[in-house]
Amino acid sequence: MGRFIVRRIIGMILVMFAVSILTFLIFQVIPNGDPAVRMAGKNSTPTQIAAIRDTWHFNDPIYEQYVYTMKQVFTGSLISYSDQTNVWQEIKKGLPRTFALGIGAAIIWMVLGVSLGLYSAVRSGGFSDRLLTVLALIGVSMPVFWVGALMSYYLGYKFGWFPNGGYTEIAQGGFGQWIYHLILPWTALAILFVGVYSRILRSNILDTINDDYVRTARAKGISERQVLIRHVLRNSLIPIITLWGLDFGLVIGGGAVLTESVFNLQGVGQYFAEAIGRLDVPPVLEVTILGAFFIVLLNTVVDIVYALLDPRIRLGS
Amino acid sequence: MTEPILVIDHLKVDFQTDEGTVHAVDDVSLSLAPGEVLAIVGESGSGKSVTAMSLLGLNRGPNARFTGTAMYKGTELLSASNDDLRKIRGAEIAMIFQDPMTSLNPVQRIGDQIAEQILAHEKLSKAQVRDRVVELMERVGIPRAAERARSYPHEFSGGMRQRVMIALALSCSPNVLIADEPTTALDVTIQAQILERIKDLKEETGTAIILVTHDLGVVADIADRIAVMYGGRIVEQGTVDEIFYDPQHPYTWGLLGSITRVDRPRGERLPSIAGLPPSLLDPPAGCHFRARCPHEFPKCLEVPPLEDRGCGHADRCWLTVEEKRAKREVRPGEIGLANKEEVAPV
Amino acid sequence: MASIDSAETGFSTDLPPEIAAEERRAPGSGPWRIALRRLRRNKVALVFGVVFVLLVALSLSAPLYAKHIAHTTPYKNRIADTITVHGQQKNIVDFDGTPIGPTWTKQYFLGADRNGRDVMVRLLYGGRTSLLIGFGASLITLVLATFFGLMAGFFGGWIDAIISRCFDVMWAFPVILLGVALGVSLNLGGITVGPLSLKGGSLWIPTIIIGISYVVYLGRPIRGQVLQLREKEFIEAARAQGLGPWRIMFSELLPNLASTLLVFFPLIVANAVLLEAALSFLGAGVQPPEPSWGVMISEGVDLLTTAPWLTIAPGLMLVLTVLSLNIFGEGVRDALDPRAKIRMEH
Ligand SMILES: Nc1ncnc2c1ncn2[C@@H]1O[C@H](COP(=O)(O)OP(=O)(O)OP(=O)(O)O)[C@@H](O)[C@H]1O
Ligand SMILES: [Mg+2]
C-alpha cells in the first residue's frame, strides 16, 4: 500500500509536469499575437513595449520562461496579463463554487442513477424499464448548456420558480438560499450522468444476477431481497463507485465549465472561459494544471478504493 | 423398502425462448430414499442440471414452465411459494454446483458466506456461528480453517473451493444433498479426493444424495442407484449392478464404453459415442437417441415408454430383452465396477 | 493505472439464455451474419438508424432548400426588410431587436435570428457543418486510436511504454479545457506546421481538436484487445509462417478489431457532435457567421427571453441526432457483441 501510494504520487507529478509543459508550449507555438503589445494598449511606444517584455521575462529563453512561470504557479504568485490580478487568489474565489456545484451534482446523480438503475433492473423488460431506458438515452444525448439555458429560462425567468442564475454564499444568504440557487445547476449537470449511471447499473445488475454465486446465495435460503442487496447490488455497485470518482474528478477538473457559464456561477471553469476569451495565458495555464491535478488525484483515490472494495484487485500490479 | 424422502413424478420443464420452446426435461420420474445415493448420468445438455435446479426452484422465471410434481416430506416443491421454498433451501435440501470457481461470491470472505446460510435458518450468536463455520471447514478437510475462513475465494484452489461448497451445503445438516457435477471442473486426483470426502460424509451423516454427473466412472463406487438421462428423458434406471452388469439401453452401452476410470489419465478416454445430442428445441419425434443409435428400426419413430423390466430396473427402448442381449457390445462385467483399490486413496 | 482499465465498465446488456442457445444452435452462419440478423430484429434501433440517415440527408440538401424554397443563403442579413406573412406586412427584425418568429411558410419557416437570417436555412447548413465535423473527428480518432493501440499492444516493450504514458497524460488532461484553449487561440491566429496551414476559422480546427481528444478513450481498449489477441494461436501461426509484424498487424489483427471499431464508431460520432456544440458554444469551435448547431445555440441564448426558438430549434436537432446515433449504436453493439462493455466519456 505504502509503496503503491509513493509510486502513484511520483506518477502524478510526472503527468502534471507533462501537462504543464504541453499547455505552456501550446501558447508559445501558436501565433496569437504578442501579449506585450496587447498589454501595452493601443497608444504605446516601442520603448514601453520593450519595458513590458523585460519585466514579464518575455525575452528570456523559453525553458527559463517555463521555470519562471512554474515557480510562480507553485508559489501562488502568478499574475494575469490582462488585469494584473493574482491568479491563485481568483481561483481561490472560484473553487468553493465549483466544488459546491460538483459535489451536489455528484450526490444527485449517484442517488438517482442507482435508484433508477436498480428499479429498471428489477422491472427489466417491463413498461417502466423501457420508459426509463428511453429517458436515460435522451438524458445522455442532451448538451448540458442547452438544458441549462432552457431550464434557467423557463423555470427561472418565465415561471419564476428558481433564481435566474448566479450564486449565493452560505455566509451571505444562508443555507436555504445557497441550495435554492444551486438546484438548477445541479440538476442540469446531473441529468447526463443519471442517464449513464442508471444504464450501467442496470446492465451490471442483469449481468450479475445470472452469475453462479447469486444462484448459490439463493440456494442458501436467504430472502430474495437479501440476495439482491447483499450479493447482486453490492457487486454491481463496485464499478459504479469507481466510475463516480473518475467522473467527479473530470467535473471538478474542468468539466463544469459549461454549467458554470450558463448559470453564471463564477466558478473556476467560468474564470477559465473568460480568461481564454482575452487570451490571458496565466489563468489558463494554472487552471489547466489544477484540473489535471484533480483528475489524477481522483484516479489514484479510485484505484485505492477499488482495491479495498474488490479483494481480487492487487495494488501496484 | 423405506418410505422415500423425495419423489419426483412426471417432471416436465419447458423454457420459452425467441426461437421456440425448449423441452429441457421431459417426463422424469425419480425417487430417493433416506440415506440413498442416486446418480443422474448423461451427456452435456441432457437436462440434468435443469432437473436438479427445478427441485429448489432455482430456475424459476417468466419463461420457465414446470409440470408434474416433486414431493418432499409433504411439500410439493414445484408449486411451493418462494417463502416455503426458502425454508427448505439450504436447511433441508442443499446443493453443490457445477463450477466451484464461480459459485462463491468473489468479494466476500469464505467464512461469511458459510455463516450467511447458517444464520438464514438458525438463531445463533456470532461466536457460535464462527465455531460452527470453522468446524465445518475442518470436517471437509480444509487445513488451518480458523485462519482460512477469513480468506477470499480467489485465494483458494479449485479443489479447496469445492470443499468450501461442500461445507456450505452441509452447514445446516440437510436431509438431501444435490451435487451437480461436483468434480467435473477439477483435476483427476482432486476429483477422487472430493468424491471420497462426499462418501465419508454420507456415511457419517446419513444424508441422501443426488449426484449429477456425465461420467459413469465417477459413480460406480459411490452410488446406490443410477438414472441415465438423454435428451431430457430418463432412458434407463436401475441399481449400480444392474446398470453396469446388465445395461439395457443402447445409450447406456455407449456410456459404458466411454467410461473414464480414475486410474486412467484424462487424455486416454475411450472413444465416446459418435454424433451430437439432439436439440431440445424441436426434438426429433420418437426415441431421442434414434439418430445416433446403431440399432435403430422403424418402431423407434414412436416414443418408447420407460418400461420396468423387473424390480425397478427400467429402460426406454423398443428392442426386446433377447435382442438387446445379442446386440450389446459391452459384455457384462467387462468394464464394470471400479474395484476399491482403483480409487486412489485420499 | 492498470487497475483502472477494469473500472472502465459501461453499457452492456444481459445475455439471455435464449441468445446463448441461439449461438450454439447456429454453428454454420458466421458471426457477421448472426449480428446482421440480430440487428434486423431490433426494430427500435433500425427506426433510429433511419432517422439518423434522414437527418443527414436533410442537412446535405441544405443548399437546395436555401436556393429553391427559401430563396436565401445562410449568411444573408435582412435586418431592415419586411416580409408578407398571410397577407400581413411584418418586420423581419422588430425595432426593439426581436426577430420574427416561425412563420411556417417557405420563407422564415422557423423565424429569423437577430440579423434577420433565415433560421431554417441556417439550421440545415449548421447541421451539415456539425455532422461533417462529427464524422471527420471520429475518423481521425478511429485512425489514430487504431494505429497507436495496435502499435502499443503488438510491439509491447518501450513502444508500448511510450504510447501508454502518452495515453496517461491525455487521460489526465481536462479535455474540455484543452479543447477550449486550443480552439480559441488557433481560431484567432491560425497555425502553420510545415506544409500544412490552417487559417483561423477553418472547420479543420475543431475537427482535429475533437478527433484528438477522444483518441485515448478508444486507444486504450484497442490496446487491451490487441494484448489479448497477441497470445492467440492464429497470431503464433502467422509468426511461424514468417509474416512480418506489419503484415500481422494489418491483415491478422485489424480484422479482429473490426467489430470493436464498428461498435465504437456511432458512439464516438455522437459524442463528437456534442463536443463540437460545446466548443462552439464557448466560442472555441466553429466561428460565426458560419452556422453550426452549437454556434446557433450560443447566439440564441442571448435572445432566449424574446426569441426562444433560436435556442430550441438547433438544440432539438442536436438532441435528435445524438439520440438516434446512441440508440442505433447500441443496437449495433447488442448485435455484434451482447456482452461488450463500452463506455464513452463526455
Ligand atoms: N433458462 C433456460 N432457458 C432456456 N433454455 C435453457 C435454460 N436452462 C437450460 N436450458 C436448456 O436446457 C438444456 C438442458 O440443460 P442442462 O443445464 O440441464 O444440461 P446438463 O445436462 O446439466 O448439461 P451439462 O453437463 O452441460 O451441465 C440445454 O439445452 C439448455 O440450453
Ligand atoms: Mg449441468
- The atom number, within ligand 1, closest to the CA of B46 reads 21
pLDDT at B267 over 60: no
* Pair (A17, A121) in one structural domain: no
Length of chain C: 346
Calpha distance B28→B22 (Å, rounded): 15
- Please provide the average confidence, as pLDDT, over all residues in chain C: 81
C window 24-83, beta carbon within 8 A of B: 25
- Within a domain: residue C29? yes
In a domain, C1, yes or no: no
How high is the pLDDT of residue C85? 77
Is the model's pLDDT at A176 over the cut of 50?
yes
CA–CA gap between residue A221 and residue B298 (Å, rounded): 49
- B-chain residues within 8 Å CB-CB of A216? 97, 103-105, 165, 168
Residue C229: CATH number of its domain: 1.10.3720.10
Task: Give how far the C-alpha of residue A24 lies from the chain's centroid of Cα atoms, to the nearest Å.
Answer: 22
Pocket perturbation via mutation, ligand 1, pick of B12, B46, B49 by most ligand atoms within 8 A of CB: B49
* CATH code assigned at A113: 1.10.3720.10
Which one of B56, B96, B105 makes the best mutation probe of the A interface by having the most chain A beta carbons within 10 Å? B105
Confidence of residue C338 (pLDDT cuts 50, 70, 90): low
Residue-by-residue DSSP string for C257-311? HHHHHHHHHHHHHHHHHHHHHHHHHTTSSSPTTS--HHHHHHHHHTTTTT-THHH
Q: Would an 8 Å CB–CB cutoff place A211 in contact with chain B?
A: yes
pTM for this model (two decimals): 0.84
Any domain includes C257: yes
Q: Pick the more confident residue, A5 or C141.
A: C141
Range of the domain at A70: 2-74
Identity of the residue in B15, B63, B279 whose CB atom sits nearest the CB atom of C25: B279
Domain count, chain A: 2
Taking a C-beta distance cutoff of 8 angstroms, is the pair B345, B200 a contact? no
pLDDT in tens, C16-32: 444 444 444 444 457 78
* Distance from residue B33's CA to the centre of ligand 1 (Å): 26
Tell me, what's the pLDDT at C27?
Answer: 43
Q: Do β-strands B208-213 and B176-180 pair in parallel, antiparallel, or remain unpaired? A: parallel
- Measuring CA to CA, how many Å separate C259 from each of A312, C254, C338? 30, 10, 12
Note whether A65 and A173 are same-domain residues.
no
CA separation (Å) from B153 to A310, B104, B163?
12, 7, 11
- ∠ CA(C191), CA(C171), CA(C163), 5° rounding? 80
- Residues 6 or more apart from C309 whose CB is under 8 A from it? C101, C102, C110, C111, C119, C300
Chain C residues touching B19 at Cβ < 8 A: 18, 21-22, 25
Among A203, A295, A315, select the one facing C174 at the smallest CB separation. A295
Q: What is the DSSP letter of B277?
A: P
Q: Which residue has the higher pLDDT, C233 or B138?
A: B138
**A85 lies in a domain?**
no
From B22, B44, B282, give the residue whose CB has the most ligand 1 atoms within 8 Å, as the site to mutate.
B22
Best mutation target, C18, C29, C34, C334, to test chain B (most B CBs within 10 A) = C18
Across the interface, which of B104, B121, B154 has its CB nearest the CB of A221?
B121
Together in a domain, A125 and A197: yes
| Claim to verify: residue A62 and residue A125 sit in the same structural domain | no
Peptide bond into C289 cis (omega under 30): yes
Q: What is the ipTM of this complex?
A: 0.88
| More confident: A285 or A52 | A285
Q: What is the mean pLDDT of residues B147-160?
A: 92
Residue numbers in A near C305 (CB within 8 A): 153, 157
Query: What whole-number distance in Å separates Cα of residue C55 and Cα of residue B206?
Result: 72
Percent of chain A topping pLDDT 90: 44
User: Which of C42, C177, C326 should one mutate to test binding to chain A, selecting the residue with the greatest count of A CBs within 10 A?
Assistant: C177
Q: A112 and A63 in one domain?
A: no
Structural domain span for residue C192: 17-62+120-344
Residues C146-162: tens digit of each pLDDT: 999 999 998 889 999 99
Phi/psi of residue B293, nearest 5 degrees: -85, 130
Q: What is the DSSP letter of B299?
A: G
B346 pLDDT exceeds 50? no
pLDDT for res C305: 85
pLDDT average, residue stretch A91-100:
94
* Cα gap A149→C303, rounded to integer Å: 11
For ligand 1, whether the C-beta of B132 sits within 6 Å is: no
- What pLDDT does residue C198 have? 78
Q: Residue C343 — pLDDT band, cuts 50, 70, 90?
A: very low
Q: Could you give the percent of chain C with pLDDT greater than 90?
A: 32
C-alpha distance from B143 to closest chain C C-alpha (Å): 32
Please state the rounded mean pLDDT for residues B218-225: 87
- Among residues A97, A111, A295, A137, the alpha carbon closest in space to that of A190 is found at A111
What's the burial of C110, exposed, middle or buried (CB within 10 Å: 0-12/13-18/19+)? buried
Question: Does any domain span residue C75?
Answer: no
Query: B86 Cβ partners below 8 Å, 6+ apart?
Result: A221, A222, A223, B120
Is the shortest distance between the CB of B59 and ligand 1 below 6 Å? yes
Angstroms from C154 CA to nearest CA on chain B:
30
Lowest mean pLDDT among A83-97, B90-104, B186-200: B186-200
The residue of chain C with its CA nearest to that of B277 is C25
DSSP chain A: -HHHHHHHHHHHHHHHHHHHHHHHHHHHHS----HHHHHH-TT--HHHHHHHHHHTTTTS-HHHHHHHHHHHHHHT--B-TTT--BHHHHHHHHHHHHHHHHHHHHHHHHHHHHHHHHHHHHTTTSHHHHHHHHHHHHHHHS-HHHHHHHHIIIIIIIS-SS-SS----HHHHHHHHHHHHHHHHHHHHHHHHHHHHHHHHHHHHHHHTTSHHHHHHHHTT--HHHIIIIIIIHHHHHHHHHHHHHHHHHIIIIITHHHHHHHT---HHHHHHHHHHTT-HHHHHHHHHHHHHHHHHHHHHHHHHHHHH-TT--TT-
pLDDT for the residue A3: 83
pLDDT, mean of residues A141-158: 89
Work out the percent of chain C whose per-residue pLDDT is above 70: 88
pLDDT tens, B17-73?
877 889 999 999 999 999 899 999 988 889 999 999 999 999 998 889 999 999 999
By alpha-carbon position, which residue is closest to atom 18 of ligand 1? B47
Residue C84 lies in a domain: no
The predicted pLDDT at position C92 comes to 76
**Residues A131, A70 share a domain:** no
Q: How would you classify residue B310: left for phi > 0, otherwise alpha for psi between -120 and 50, otherwise beta?
A: left
Ligand 1 atom nearest residue C24's Cα = 31
Range name among A118-132, A230-244, C9-23 with the lowest pLDDT average: C9-23
Per-residue model confidence as pLDDT tens digits over C197-213:
778 778 888 999 999 99
A240-260 residue pLDDT tens? 999 999 999 999 988 899 999
Whether residue A166 is contained in a domain is answered as: yes
* Residue B81 forms contact with A (CB below 8 Å): no
Tell me, yes or no, whether A186 lies in a domain.
Answer: yes
Average pLDDT estimate for B277-283: 79
- A108 and A15 in one domain? no
The DSSP bridge partners found for residue B228 are B41, B236
Does the beta carbon of B15 lie inside 6 Å of ligand 1? yes
Q: What is the pLDDT of residue A30?
A: 65
Q: Rounded to an integer, what distance in angstroms lies between the CA atom of residue B335 and that of residue B224?
A: 18
Q: How far is the CA of B13 from the centre of ligand 2 (A)?
A: 14
Instruction: Evaluate whether residue A86 is within a structural domain.
Output: no
Average pLDDT over residues B70-88: 93
* 8 Å CB contact of A239 and C7: yes
pLDDT (tens digit, 9 = 90+) per residue, A266-288? 999 999 999 988 888 889 889 99
Cell of C126: 449548421
Residue with the smallest CA separation from ligand 1 atom 30 is: B45
Do A198 and A298 fall within a single domain?
Answer: yes
User: Do residues A55 and A131 both lie within one domain?
Assistant: no
- Shared-domain flag, residues A192 and A282: yes
Please check whether residue C242 lies inside any domain of the structure.
Answer: yes
As a whole number, the mean pLDDT across chain B is 85
Residue-level pLDDT at B40? 95
Range in A126-130, A140-144, A230-234, B342-346 the model is least confident about: B342-346
B90/A contact by beta carbon, under 8 A: yes
Structural domain total, chain C: 1
Q: Does A33 touch chain C (CB under 8 A)?
A: yes
Closest CA in chain B for residue A307: B107
Tell me if C138 sits within 8 A of C269, measured CB to CB.
Answer: yes
Is the separation of the CB atoms in A263 and A184 below 8 Å? yes
What pLDDT does residue C336 have? Answer: 81
End-to-end CA distance of chain B: 33
Domain presence at residue A87: no
Is the per-residue pLDDT at A146 higher than 80? yes
The pLDDT, as a whole number, for residue B119 is: 94
pLDDT number for residue B1: 56
